[in-house]
Amino acid sequence: MEYVETGKKRIRTAILLSIIPGLGQIYNKQLFKGIAFLIIFALFIIEMFNFGIGALNGLITLGSTPGADHSLFILIEGSLQLLILLLFILFYVINLNDARKVARLWAEGKKVNTSLKSVLLNMVDRGFPYLFTIPAYVAMLFAIVFPVLVTIFIAFTNYDFYHIPPAKLIDWVGFENFSNIFFLSSYRDTFFAVFGWTVIWTLAATTLQIVIGIFTAIVLNQKFIKFKRVFGIIFLLPWAVPAFITIMSFSNMFNDSIGAINTQVIPLIDALIPFVELQSLPWKTDPFFTKIAIILIQGWLGFPFIYVLVSGILQSIPEEQYEAARIDGAGVIQRFKHITMPAIFTIAAPIFITQYTGNFNNFSMIYLFNEGGPGSIGAGAGSTDILISWIYKLTTGTSPQYSIASAVTLFISLFVIMISLIVFKKTKAFEMED
Amino acid sequence: MANMLKSQKTSRIISKFFTYFYLILLAVIIIYPLLITASSAFKAGNVTAFNLNFDAEWTLANFSRLFTETLYGSWYMNTLIIALVTMVVQVTVITLAGYTYSRYRFVGRKKSLMFFLIIQMVPTTAALTAFYVMALLLGALDQSWFLMFLYIGGGIPMNTWLMKGYFDTIPYDLDESAKLDGAGHFRIFAQIVLPLVKPMIAVQSLWAFMTPFGEYMLAKFLLRTPENYTVAIGLQTFINNPQNQKVALFAAGAILIAIPITILFFMLQKHFVAGLTSGGTKG
């Protein structure tokens, strides 16, 4: 009984002392670790007083004197400080946990590493996984997490071409950008038009490439086919050649007056197929035909990936399954429905989803083919712009709307994450081993 | 009976006919645009549009014009440097991380794996304004190192996930027996497991290498002076206006990019499926 009491007391003391990181560790007789924790704590305090408090305060005000205070840099410094603060909180929690754990080891009379050598050895051994993952985390922190944080902040400011620091200050405006997008008629109409087309484009183009991909894989998987390798190589070409090259080539081919489609392909179709009389089509000047063209081109560009994936899956389906089904009297369609399709979808469904989210943000296809045009539908967007290319135009145009662009970026991110989460949950990608 | 056999035979012939018809049609649709683009590179005179026309006068002059009259040489070098750095750094980072997530059970593993899975859904390229502001602060506008950094960081979550999936397919017994023989962390990683994931490393290297060659938006957004362009934005200046007489140069420049990349692609192609399915489907 007494043992339990002193044990509990020990743990409580260690945790209480660890309110100043390091002291709990020293109390646990881990001198080296304690000093290391104390140093980290001291560095953080010094950093806070010299830079941190000012930076966090700046994040609230975003500067007060136009010309002298550069609101953007104040915003960035504040965000950076917020990140440092979060990392420190993480460290603090680890510190408390460590003090409690080691104190419990003492209380239970288990062996505790106290000498410098054994602590270091233990750190190398147990720290190995952290050592190996730190580079990935540092890169993601600065290339993804930090930009996302800055985007979130800017979406709540009035950063646009009227407010370019350092001449002007930037201010917090709350949800104004979001309410503009959803309620102010000039932005609202554009936003819903662009969003609607983005969804249609994503569904049509991706489904097309998946259908062609699966169909081609199944056709080419038949046993009797000669020159299988030749066809296989040809069908991979659209994936192998960098997409920007082919999109630019197609952009030239679909030129209304001189492009190969109007001058060669359509006359050829007219000549080959009786009773068909196609005219030259306004591919680049009529939004409807531009939309048709980019969906078809994306089918051309995207099907090889699906075809390769599905071919691999088809070859892994055991022949006996089909034999057994045939003996049971299943027809071609039934075999396809009950053996082939399930096999494809259980393996490839998550990858199909990445194809949909990829096309949702397929900037190159939209922008390189016709720069989002033809024409304009207001607020800087062209008639075939999708959300990502609209963001690009809002950011790079002659009168940039950075804050609106950031708000749309947030919308895209949330939308894509939500869809992916729903589907990943359904396809059980979240269920992990162990 | 004979009738039935006969009808079966005809239906088989019909199905064969449609199979080959489809395959050949698809092959033509794929080859046609590539062929007319490639052939334009060798045409003399002013080419304004790609088409199937073999009466032209053939020449190699477009290739020499590319290097003497335009900045194509510097664009190619810029892209090559960005691509190599991106490839080496990214593949190193994701190999280390993928190995760790596959082989070690440590505090925070599950949570951070979840973090990887969610963060790879964030369409980072959309954060243009944030990149712009960061570049302003760092003086990194028009600098290729910032672009490399974004390429490296942006690809990490998804590729670490795929890498981990591939490491998972290597049997654990191997490391267990090496551990019994007294091999340390580094020995097991470098000498036992690493050689077995070479195919996946090759595939990931190719993808990381190809990104800077194909990526347009970030490069166009961040690189401002023509000398610093990558090939994608450089070549676009040749073709966005057919009147400026550089369409044939575009074709020539495109060939010099497409051929090496396509060759690399076909060399590694047999590893693609394993790489894709092993990581994409399970945790």
Those residues whose C-beta lies under 8 Å from the C-beta of residue A320, and which sit 6 or more positions away, are none
Tell which wins on pLDDT, B224 or B45. Answer: B224
**Do A368 and A321 lie in a common domain?**
yes
In percent, the amount of chain A with pLDDT more than 70 equals 96
Residue A160 lies in a domain: no
Name chain A contacts of B239, Cβ cutoff 8 Å.
248, 251-252
- Closest CB to B122 among A72, A139, A413: A413
Whether omega for the bond prior to residue B171 falls within 30 degrees of 0, making it cis, is no
**Do A142 and A188 lie in a common domain?**
no
ipTM: 0.89
**pLDDT of B78-113, one tens digit each?**
999 999 999 999 999 999 999 998 888 887 788 888
State which H helix or E strand residue A34 sits in.
Answer: helix A31-47
Task: Give the pLDDT of residue B281.
Answer: 41
Q: What is the mean pLDDT of chain B?
A: 86
Contact A148 B124 (CB under 8 A): yes
**Do A59 and A190 lie in a common domain?**
no
Task: Give the pLDDT of residue B182.
Answer: 82
**pLDDT of A88-99, one tens digit each?**
998 899 888 888
Task: Give the pLDDT of residue B4.
Answer: 66
Looking at the predicted structure, is the pLDDT value of residue B274 above 70? Answer: no
Residue in A241, A305, A387 to test binding to B, most B beta-carbons within 10 Å: A241
Mean pLDDT computed over A278-298: 91
Task: Give the pLDDT of residue B277.
Answer: 63
B224 in Cβ contact with B135 (< 8 Å): no
Least confident piece of the model among A260-264, B166-170, B240-244, B252-256: B240-244
A106 in Cβ contact with A28 (< 8 Å): yes
Mean pLDDT computed over A202-211: 95
Task: Indicate which CATH number applies to the domain containing A345.
Answer: 1.10.3720.10
- Closest CB to B97 among A136, A309, A432: A136
C-alpha count within 13 angstroms, C-beta hemisphere, residue B26: 28
Q: How confident is the model at residue A319 (pLDDT cuts 50, 70, 90)?
A: confident
Can you tell me the distance from the alpha carbon of A320 to that of A340, in angstroms, rounded to the nearest whole number?
A: 13
**Do A189 and A268 lie in a common domain?**
yes
Range of the domain at A82: 2-154
Tell which wins on pLDDT, B280 or A203. Answer: A203
Contact B49 A253 (CB under 8 A): yes
Q: How confident is the model at residue B8 (pLDDT cuts 50, 70, 90)?
A: confident
Can you tell me the distance from the alpha carbon of B128 to that of A408, in angstroms, rounded to the nearest whole number?
A: 11
- Closest CB to A392 among B217, B261, B269: B217
Name chain B contacts of A363, Cβ cutoff 8 Å.
125, 216-217
What one-character DSSP code corresponds to residue B194?
G
Mean pLDDT computed over A161-175: 81
Those residues whose C-beta lies under 8 Å from the C-beta of residue A2, and which sit 6 or more positions away, are none
Looking at the predicted structure, is the pLDDT value of residue A387 above 60? Answer: yes
Residue A250 lies in a domain: yes
Contact B130 A351 (CB under 8 A): no
Q: Is A189 helix (H, G, I), strand (E, B) or coil?
A: helix
**Do A116 and A263 lie in a common domain?**
no
C-alpha count within 13 angstroms, C-beta hemisphere, residue A206: 19
**Do A251 and A341 lie in a common domain?**
yes
**Do A252 and A315 lie in a common domain?**
yes
Task: Give the pLDDT of residue B280.
Answer: 44
Contact A395 B19 (CB under 8 A): no
Residue A168 lies in a domain: no
Other residues' Cβ atoms within 10 Å of the Cβ of residue A278: 12
Task: Give the pLDDT of residue A5.
Answer: 66
Can you tell me the distance from the alpha carbon of B173 to that of B222, in angstroms, rounded to the nearest whole number?
A: 48
Task: Give the pLDDT of residue B87.
Answer: 94
Looking at the predicted structure, is the pLDDT value of residue B253 above 70? Answer: yes
- What is the largest distance, in Å, between two alpha-carbon atoms of chain A? 101
**Do A311 and A190 lie in a common domain?**
yes
In percent, the amount of chain A with pLDDT more than 90 equals 25
The number of domains in chain A is: 2
Residue A304 lies in a domain: yes
- Closest CB to A392 among B128, B235, B262: B128
**Do A186 and A141 lie in a common domain?**
no
Q: How confident is the model at residue A428 (pLDDT cuts 50, 70, 90)?
A: low
Contact B137 A348 (CB under 8 A): no
- Closest CB to A260 among B49, B125, B154: B49
Contact A250 B33 (CB under 8 A): yes
Residue A171 lies in a domain: no
**Do A150 and A200 lie in a common domain?**
no
Q: How confident is the model at residue A432 (pLDDT cuts 50, 70, 90)?
A: very low
Q: How confident is the model at residue A215 (pLDDT cuts 50, 70, 90)?
A: very high
Closest CA of chain B from A3, distance in Å: 29
Mean pLDDT computed over A323-331: 84
Nearest to A395 by CA among A381, A383, A384: A381
Nearest to A312 by CA among A217, A206, A215, A216: A217
Query: What are A172's strand-pairing partners?
Result: A157
Task: Give the pLDDT of residue B275.
Answer: 66
Residue A128 lies in a domain: yes
What one-character DSSP code corresponds to residue A382?
B
Task: Give the pLDDT of residue B28.
Answer: 94
From A136, A154, A172, give the residue that closes a domain.
Answer: A154
**Do A242 and A338 lie in a common domain?**
yes
Task: Give the pLDDT of residue A429.
Answer: 52
Map tokens 């924790």 to a residue: A37
Contact A135 B92 (CB under 8 A): yes
Mean pLDDT computed over B160-181: 85
Task: Give the pLDDT of residue B2.
Answer: 64
Tell which wins on pLDDT, B277 or A196. Answer: A196
Can you tell me the distance from the alpha carbon of B214 to that of A244, in angstroms, rounded to the nearest whole number?
A: 6
Task: Give the pLDDT of residue A267.
Answer: 86
- Closest CB to B283 among A136, A367, A430: A430
Tell which wins on pLDDT, A159 or B125. Answer: A159
**pLDDT of A89-127, one tens digit each?**
988 998 888 888 888 888 877 777 767 677 777 777 777
Phi, psi (deg, nearest 5) at residue A242: -50, 135
From A119, A154, A189, give the residue that closes a domain.
Answer: A154
**Do A191 and A258 lie in a common domain?**
yes
Contact A430 B114 (CB under 8 A): yes
Task: Give the domains, in start order, of chain B with CATH numbers.
Answer: 77-232 (1.10.3720.10)
Task: Give the pLDDT of residue B283.
Answer: 34
Contact A224 B16 (CB under 8 A): yes
Residue A282 lies in a domain: yes
Mean pLDDT computed over B166-185: 84
Closest CA of chain A from B201, distance in Å: 16
Nearest to A358 by CA among B120, B280, B159: B120
Looking at the predicted structure, is the pLDDT value of residue A394 above 80? Answer: yes
Looking at the predicted structure, is the pLDDT value of residue A238 above 90? Answer: yes
Residue A20 lies in a domain: yes
